[in-house]
Amino acid sequence: MIDHSHDPALPCWVPGATDHPEFPIQNLPLGVFSDGEGDARIGTRIGDHVLDLRGLAEMGLVPPELGSLSDTTLNSLLARPAADRLALRHALSALLSDGGQAARIVHLLHRIDSVTMQLPAAIGDYTDFYAGIHHAENIGKLFRPDAPLLPNYKHIPIGYHGRASSVTVGDVPVRWPHGQRAGPEGPSFGPSQRLDYELELGIWVGPGNAHGEPIAIDAAPEHIAGFCLLNDWSARDLQAWEYQPLGPFLAKSFHTTISPWIITAEAMAPFRIAQTPRPEGDPRPLPYLWSDADQASGALALNLEVLIETAAMRENGLAPHRLSVGPASNLYWTPAQMLAHHASNGCPLNPGDLLGTGTISTPTPDGRGSLMEISEGGKSPLTLPNGETRTFLQPGDRIIMRAMAQATGAASIGFGECSAEVVA
């Protein structure tokens, strides 16, 4: 069977969907939405509409074995093999490209501004990696100018466990965290004075593994269901004081924001590229982390962008200001390497678990993925076009992240915004 779902010429009868910059018919992401009555349902986004997949399933218009479409989270769908997600994609693609179907299902479309997006899955565990090598170098330089990367960095996808309960979808306001930090007269407790964002990708886990059973790197793609944007909000003053010897804790666990749509691995198929070759002299990873197939096509052709909108900018009707732009190819480890490493000790990964990649920065100053890097640890304030300055965030600041997948011969698709405002 020929897969037409990526054909850039594929038509779509939904008004405004053809040539939609982020959600054309070639995207078809998965999410959970509710309308005014709060009834959570699984949907896909097409143009500026959400299509109710529960309704579609009730009409018998999607493969019957995908009965989990009537759930209020995507966990059971994520548990299914990739072939099932692909079958769903093909069914949706056929329905939305065939104008003859419009009359039957148009009632299942909701305008995106009439619904509220919810967490796509109940997140069992959330893990955050540190795979953005230029970020690791930028941060490391602030502490160890001569040796910014620790000896393990190029051998292990460094990661730590995050706080699943603190993950929300975009637009939930981020309440300003209080915490303990060091000071010249001893530690004190109060509102963070160095609140920051971090630009990351999120990786949604699919079927996963049984406790004690590792996942081989060549099997890892079967367990990667999709992707999203992730803002790993960070309180730098809390982090500096608490993180030795067991790692970040309350500096991160107050809030993590993700974009609401799971951009499926199937939608991303045209946007898989070769991993950036390791620089001459870098060690070759151990075999459990190395696969020629993964090196050939395991990375993501994604362009990432971060913008800030301050309260003053909003009041004066100014557009958000771009803080950084750059490609996801600055990740030193592929998603498959992160997942294979995670399961290498037998740790059980479950459907709906979330992995963060770590902050993605470019080697150049225009693509730094956090204010800590942009302001060089708070020493070099950033001046915004309206004259405001920032070293770290201020109350009322909104951080907006965007991702666009682009490849020759393919229709571009976007991730939708990961956007939230910090409030005092």
Binding residues: 128, 130, 144, 198, 200, 232, 239, 243, 252, 256, 359
Between 111 and 144, CB nearer to its own copies: 144
With CA atoms as reference, report the closest residue to 223 among 71, 343, 92.
343
Cis bond before residue 245 (omega within 30° of 0): yes
Note whether 395 binds its own copies by CB under 8 A: no
Task: Figure out which of the listed residues 152, 316, 380, 408 binds its own copies, where binding follows CB under 8 A.
Answer: 152
Residue 175 is a binding residue for its own copies (CB under 8 A):
yes
Catalytic-labelled residue, pool 6, 49, 134, 135:
135
Phi, psi of 421 (to 5 degrees): -110, 140
**Ordered DSSP codes for 380-401:** SPEEPTTS-EESS--TT-EEEE
> Does 396 interact with its own copies (rule: CB under 8 A)?
no
Give the nearer residue to its own copies in terms of CB position, either 109 or 336: 336
- 8, 21, 99, 187: residue in contact with its own copies (rule CB under 8 A): 187
The annotated binding site for Mg(2+) is made up of: 232, 252, 256
CB contact set of 234 (below 8 Å; sequence gap of 6+): 195, 196, 197, 198, 248, 251, 252, 370, 372
Closer by beta carbon to its own copies, 4 or else 175 = 175
Closer to its own copies by Cβ: residue 110 or 154: 154
Least Å distance between CB 156 and its own copies? 6
Q: Per CB under 8 A, does 242 bind its own copies?
A: yes
119 secondary structure, DSSP code: -
Note whether 170 and 259 are within 8 A (CB).
yes
Rounded Cα distance between 388 and 212, Å, is 53
DSSP notation for 322-381: EEEEEEGGGBSS-HHHHHHHHHTT-PPP-TT-EEE------SSGGG--SHHHHTTTTTSP
132 binds its own copies, rule: CB under 8 A: no
Q: Is residue 238 close enough to count as binding its own copies by CB under 8 A?
A: yes
Whichever of 12 and 195 has its CB closer to its own copies, that residue is: 195
**Binding its own copies by CB under 8 A: which of 77, 121, 250, 360?**
250
Among the residue ranges 68-76, 77-85, 345-353, 391-399, the one whose residues contact its own copies (CB under 8 A): 345-353
Stretch that binds its own copies, among 36-44, 61-69, 103-111, 246-254 (CB under 8 A): 246-254
Shortest spacing between CB 318 and its own copies, in angstroms: 28
Which residues lie closer than 8 Å to 358 by C-beta, 6 or more apart? Answer: 128, 129, 130, 131, 132, 135, 136, 158, 159, 198, 200, 331
- Binding span for its own copies by CB under 8 A among 69-77, 183-191, 274-282, 363-371: 183-191
Active site residue 341: no
Give me the least distance between CB of 146 and its own copies, in Å please. 16
Gap between the Cα atoms of 313 and 322, Å rounded: 13
Provide the annotated binding site for substrate. 130, 144, 239, 243, 359
Using CA atoms of 286, 287, 292, 296 in order, give the dihedral in degrees to the nearest 10. Answer: -40
* Between 288 and 381, CB nearer to its own copies: 288
CA Rg, the chain, in Å? 21
Residues at the binding site for Ca(2+) are 128, 198, 200, 232
What single DSSP character describes residue 283? P
Using CB under 8 A as the binding rule, whether residue 100 contacts its own copies is answered as no
Chosen residue from 56, 74, 91, 158 binding its own copies by CB under 8 A: 158
Taking the C-alpha atoms of residue 140 and residue 132, their distance in angstroms, rounded to an integer, is 12
Cβ atoms of residues 13 and 418 within 8 Å? no
Residue of 248, 260, 367, 414 that binds its own copies (CB under 8 A): 248
Burial zone of 50 (CB within 10 Å; 0-12 exposed, 13-18 middle, 19+ buried) = buried
Tell which one of 24, 179, 260, 367 touches its own copies (CB under 8 A).
Answer: 179
Q: Which residues bind its own copies (CB under 8 A)?
A: 124-125, 130, 150-152, 155-156, 158-166, 168, 175, 177-180, 182, 186-189, 211-212, 214, 235, 238, 241-251, 253-255, 283, 286-288, 341-342, 344-350, 353
> Which residues are tagged catalytic?
135
